[in-house]
Amino acid sequence: MKKPIIEFKNVSKVFEDSNTKVLKDINFELEEGKFYTLLGASGSGKSTILNIIAGLLDATTGDIMLDGVRINDIPTNKRDVHTVFQSYALFPHMNVFENVAFPLRLRNIDKKEIEQRVAEVLKMVQLEGYEKRSIRKLSGGQRQRVAIARAIINQPRVVLLDEPLSALDLKLRTDMQYELRELQQRLGITFVFVTHDQEEALAMSDWIFVMNDGEIVQSGTPVDIYDEPINHFVATFIGESNILPGTMIEDYLVEFNGKRLEAVDGGMKPNEPVEVVIRPEDLRITLPEEGKLQVKVDTQLFRGVHYEIIAYDELGNEWMIHSTRKAIVGEEIGLDFEPEDIHIMRLNETEEEFDARIEEYVEIEEQEAGLINAIEEERDEENKL
């Protein structure tokens, strides 16, 4: 990993008036030039992390580093970070140009340079020609673009975005997701984005931190977190999931719903209790006799790109299926899936334990593969003789 641009070392935060611990021993490193997302429900601690980076809140314990320098005691205006707030925080008595130029005027930048740089960033956020427009006459999406332009005009090391799209309608929010991601990649600035919307996080991020109750419960790429959730909370918070109790009989063999089925997971104890996750889109409808499982259709909704089907097996377990095939309420269908569609979660496993187990398991597999290759090479040599 490159030298981190931002680092949290054992950071906690307690609000003394209520004695509420909102952050619990947070540790992470952020690389320069990537799009990071803090994802969690309201009250999970994600905005608190953002405010501590910005200097709007003090950490109770721990160190906050920016470019290797401890910034706990450095005031907000001296930190090379800028924040885009959900409420935009624009000056209503100023026009677009004056709002965007405000940070440059605080630094006594030359008038001609201010005009040039404002024109450049307004072009980036698709607001050319809006310089003299009143803030009051702008739409929500346009105001958000002004706030983003003001945040990037000083070319900060880090841009912090606190739920910036939550007040926008669905179509505009989707458009802004594309625009923000493209802008971040073009500028190469580190973006730290806070949201409760898992679809936003999956679509925009290089790396996601999933938060719950003041802790980071899992971090990784969007694909890693979606395909390999570490626990029940992550599996249900990130997308839809079918989750059932099971037993890991041995490596690559799991039992659930009274059936023993091939899987791709390993590194666990024989007969260890686990949770089994299968995503709705990984289930394929077949004839009952051709499926690994048999279920009866209870309800279905048309979601545009697929039908969302709710069915129950003979044990009473609920199954959600996403299929382009329409089902008939009351009919029995089969469900088929591949071993790689089965995701195994250990009970109460931390992210550190998960990473260590996977690393150890991969190392053992590589050793076994090397041993097999050596045996085969030896046999080839014997055959040549």
* Domain harbouring 42, CATH code: 3.40.50.300
Residue 21 lies in domain? 6-227
Q: Are residues 248 and 361 in the same domain?
A: no
Instruction: Please indicate, yes or no, if residue 60 is contained in any of the structural domains.
Output: yes
Is residue 34 domain-shared with residue 135, that is, in the same domain?
Answer: yes
Same domain, 61 and 35: yes
Of 227, 257, 279, the residue at which a domain comes to its end is 227
CA 191 to chain centre: 13
Residue 191 or 355, more confident: 191
Q: What is the pLDDT of residue 362?
A: 65
* More confident call, 376 vs 43: 43
Strand partners, 52: none
Task: Tell me whether residue 1 is in a domain.
Answer: no
Q: What are the two backbone dihedrals, phi and then psi, of residue 349, each rounded to the nearest 5 degrees?
A: -90, 130
Specify whether 153 is located in the same domain as 186: yes
> What integer pLDDT is reported at residue 369 of this predicted model?
67
What average pLDDT does range 195-206 have in this prediction?
A: 93
pLDDT at res. 375 = 76
pLDDT at site 271: 96
* Angle at which helices 111-124 and 96-106 cross, to 10°: 130
264 and 213 part of one domain: no
Highest-scoring range by mean pLDDT, 22-31, 258-267, 358-367: 22-31
12-64: per-residue pLDDT in tens? 999 988 788 999 999 999 999 999 999 999 999 999 999 999 999 999 999 99
> Does residue 234 sit within a domain?
no
Residues 322 and 378 in one domain: no
pLDDT of res. 338: 97
- What is the rounded average pLDDT of the residues 170-191? 87
Task: With CA atoms as reference, report the closest residue to 49 among 206, 203, 216, 221.
Answer: 216
Q: Does 204 share its domain with 272?
A: no
Burial class (CB in 10 A: 0-12, 13-18, 19+), 45: buried
For the ranges 56-65, 158-167, 235-244, 257-266, the lowest mean pLDDT is seen at 158-167
Average pLDDT, the chain: 90
Residues 117, 64 share a domain: yes
What pLDDT, in 10s, does the model give residues 217-248?
Answer: 999 999 999 999 999 999 999 989 999 999 99
Q: Of 247, 229, 246, nearest to 238 (Cα)?
A: 229
Rounded Cα distance, 146 and 140, in Å: 10
What is the structure's pLDDT at 108?
82
Does any domain span residue 233?
no
- Report pLDDT for 72: 95
Q: CA 305, CA 321: separation in Å to the nearest integer?
A: 13
Query: Residue 105: is its pLDDT beyond 90?
Result: no
Last residue of a domain, which of 187, 204, 227? Answer: 227
Q: What pTM value is reported for the model? A: 0.84
pLDDT at 116: 92
Q: Return the pLDDT at 40.
A: 95
Tokens of 375: 């045996």
264 plus 125 within the same structural domain? no
Query: Is there a domain that residue 235 lies in?
Result: no
Question: What's the token pair of residue 67?
Answer: 């470019």
Whole-angstrom distance, CA of residue 34 vs CA of residue 157: 11
Q: 32, 206 in Cβ contact below 8 A?
A: no
Question: Of 168, 197, 227, which marks where a domain is finished?
Answer: 227
* Residue 358's pLDDT band (cuts 50, 70, 90): low
Same domain flag for 115 and 221: yes
- Whether residue 356 sits in one domain with residue 341: no
* pLDDT higher than 70, residue 97: yes
Average pLDDT of span 79-102: 87
Residue 336 domain-assigned? Answer: yes
Using alpha carbons, select from 63, 44, 51, 58 the residue that is nearest to residue 6.
63
Give the relative orientation of helices 140-152 and 111-124 as an angle to the nearest 10 degrees. 130
- pLDDT above 80 (res 364): no
254 touches 261 (CB < 8 A) = yes
List Cα–Cα distances, 20 to 11, 25, 35, 257, in angstroms: 15, 14, 30, 42
How confident is the model at residue 365, as a pLDDT? 63
Q: Is residue 232 part of a domain?
A: no
pLDDT attached to residue 1: 59
Structural domains counted in the chain: 3
pLDDT of residue 218: 95
Same domain, 130 and 269: no
Helix-then-strand count for the chain, H and E: 9, 20
Q: Residues 96, 98, 103, CA angle at the centre, nearest 5°?
A: 115
In a domain, residue 89? The reply is: yes
The confidence band for 293, taking pLDDT boundaries of 50, 70 and 90, is very high
pLDDT tens profile 116-145: 999 998 988 888 888 899 988 888 888 888
